[in-house]
Amino acid sequence: MTQSLTVADELEQAAARVDAAVAAVAKLEPAAQTAATELKQAIEAFHKLALTTIVRRLKQDPRGKELLLELVEDPAVYALLVMHGIVRADPLTRARRVLDGARPYMQSHGGDAELVDVRDGVAYVRLHGSCNGCSLSAFTLRKHVEEALLREVPEITRLEVINDQATPAILRTEAQEAPAIEKGWLRGPAVAEVPPGQMVSFATERGSVLIVNLANRLSAYRNACAHQGRPLDGGMLDPDAGTLTCPWHGFCFDVQSGECLTAPQAQLEPFPLRVVDGIIWVRPQ
Ligand code: FES
């Protein structure tokens, strides 16, 4: 029985076809390579011209503008417009690129940073290795990341470091002060209630929160799929792949970053998380 392809499947297949053609061109004789590249660029220029006209005309009409916004939601349309420079990639994608650019420098100093989300002008970043901690080098690396993000992505005005409290090293029971409830922290389940490879949701006055434990790294997200906002807690967690698949329409998410692997511009909403005396605390927005 043949199964119908999803839009994401079709997009992936189309992208793979382009990649295969580009790889094949790279193996041609230089003269043939030049001709093929010229053909590709000429067709792209032609498409860009027509697409720019379509977008400009749509923007001139209120109904067209609305339609354009709906169209940009489609992953294939969005990818095409970004490719031609007609719309800018969203701040999350641009911030991710900035971080990828800064990664060789961070790694050469024994550190790393992972972008979790960009929301309301704030970039939420999780730090690893020598980027973490209070040393002068950690401060310098953090500054480097922050300056690059603020400079390259004008929508970002602030960087917030997400406390990586859930790594095994931090799942200690040292006496620490419980996070302040008046600052928005809410008490969640005990760490023991969320064993590795499992997830637990709990209700709060700010909506349902999902806690996921992937190899002793805890993450907290709004218990709402980035597709249609339906609860994710009945989904399938694959600890080996590090993914969570929504039970409703099968969108797949990277558990550590919350990034949607099915529709790249979608993202789970992460919450800061702390572990104090074996209790998980979260700060939903
Ligand atoms: S609500 Fe549609 S995939 Fe999750």
Whether 170 is covered by a domain: the verdict is: no
74 DSSP assignment: S
Whether 16 is covered by a domain: the verdict is: yes
Nearest to 106 by CA among 61, 147, 46, 165: 147
- 146 and 57 assigned to the same domain: no
Whether 243 is covered by a domain: the verdict is: yes
For each of the chain's 285 residues, which pLDDT tens digit applies?
Answer: 455 667 667 877 888 888 899 899 999 999 999 999 999 999 999 999 998 899 888 888 888 888 887 887 777 887 788 788 887 777 887 888 888 888 888 778 777 788 888 887 888 887 776 666 555 666 777 788 888 888 888 888 888 776 544 443 333 333 356 677 777 889 999 988 998 889 999 999 889 999 999 888 889 999 999 888 899 998 988 888 888 988 888 888 888 888 888 876 788 888 888 888 888 999 887
Whether 172 is covered by a domain: the verdict is: no
Span from the CA of 52 to the centroid of ligand 1 (angstroms): 32
Span from the CA of 136 to the centroid of ligand 1 (angstroms): 44
Ligand 1 atom nearest to CA at 247: 4
pTM: 0.44
Ligand 1 atom nearest to CA at 246: 4
- Give the dihedral sign, CA 45/49/50/51: positive
Query: Last residue of a domain, which of 58, 83, 108?
Result: 83
Check: CB of residue 198 under 8 Å from CB of residue 161.
Answer: no
Please work out whether the CB of residue 249 comes within 6 Å of at least one atom of ligand 1. yes
Check: CB of residue 275 under 8 Å from CB of residue 281.
Answer: yes
Please work out whether the CB of residue 128 comes within 6 Å of at least one atom of ligand 1. no
Protein residue closest via CA to atom 1 of ligand 1: 228
Whether 210 is covered by a domain: the verdict is: yes
6/4 Cα distance (integer angstroms): 7
Please work out whether the CB of residue 246 comes within 6 Å of at least one atom of ligand 1. yes
Residue 28's domain spans which residues?
7-83
Domain count, the chain: 3
Please work out whether the CB of residue 232 comes within 6 Å of at least one atom of ligand 1. no
